[in-house]
Amino acid sequence: MGKVNREQGLVIEEHGDMVKIQVGRHNDCQSCGACPGSQHIIIDAVNTLGAKKGQRVAFEVRETSVLKGAFMVFVLPLIAAAIGAFLGWRAGEAWSYDLTHAAIAGGLLLFLVSLGAVRLFDRSVARDQSMKPVIVEILS
C-alpha cells in the first residue's frame, strides 16, 4: 500500500464526512518554501471518526498521493515545456521559421496544455476520497 505519513492539526470546519484541518507546516514544507503565506496550511480530510470543530486530530496521508500530486503540479509542466520547445525547434527547422521563436511558442503551448492536465487531475483528486488525508485519531 505504500508509506503513510502521520500529521496533526486542528479541525476548523466541518462539512459532512469532510473537515478542514489547520496544519502547522512541518520541516519538509518549511524547507521547500513553494507555498506563500503563514506558517499554517489548510487541508481537506476525510472525517471517519466524527471529529468536531476545535478538536486536535491526527491524520494520515499516503506518500504515493503526495508524490503523484507533486509530479503533476511541479514536474509535468516542466517536462511538457521542454518537449514543446524541442518540437517547436524541430517545426521551425522544417518550416523555415525563426528557431528561437518556434521553440518558445512550442514550449509555451505544451506548458499551457499541461496546466489543463493539472486542472483535470485536481478535479479528479477532489472527487477521489482515497487520495485525501484521513483522520485516524482524535487527540483532544
- C-alpha 90: how far from its chain's center? 32
pLDDT of res. 65: 84
pLDDT of res. 27: 54
C-alpha cell at 50: 466524527
Q: pLDDT of 51-65, one tens digit each?
A: 999 999 999 988 888
CA distance 111 to 76: 9
Band (35; pLDDT cuts 50, 70, 90): low
Tell which residue, 27, 57, 28, has the closest CA to residue 43. 57
pLDDT of res. 125: 85
Q: Checking phi first, is residue 37 left (phi over 0); if not, alpha (psi -120 to 50) or beta?
A: left
Tell which residue, 50, 40, 64, 41, has the closest CA to residue 19. 50
* pLDDT over 80 at 37, yes or no: no
Average pLDDT over residues 99-121: 97
Beta bridge partners of 18: 15, 46
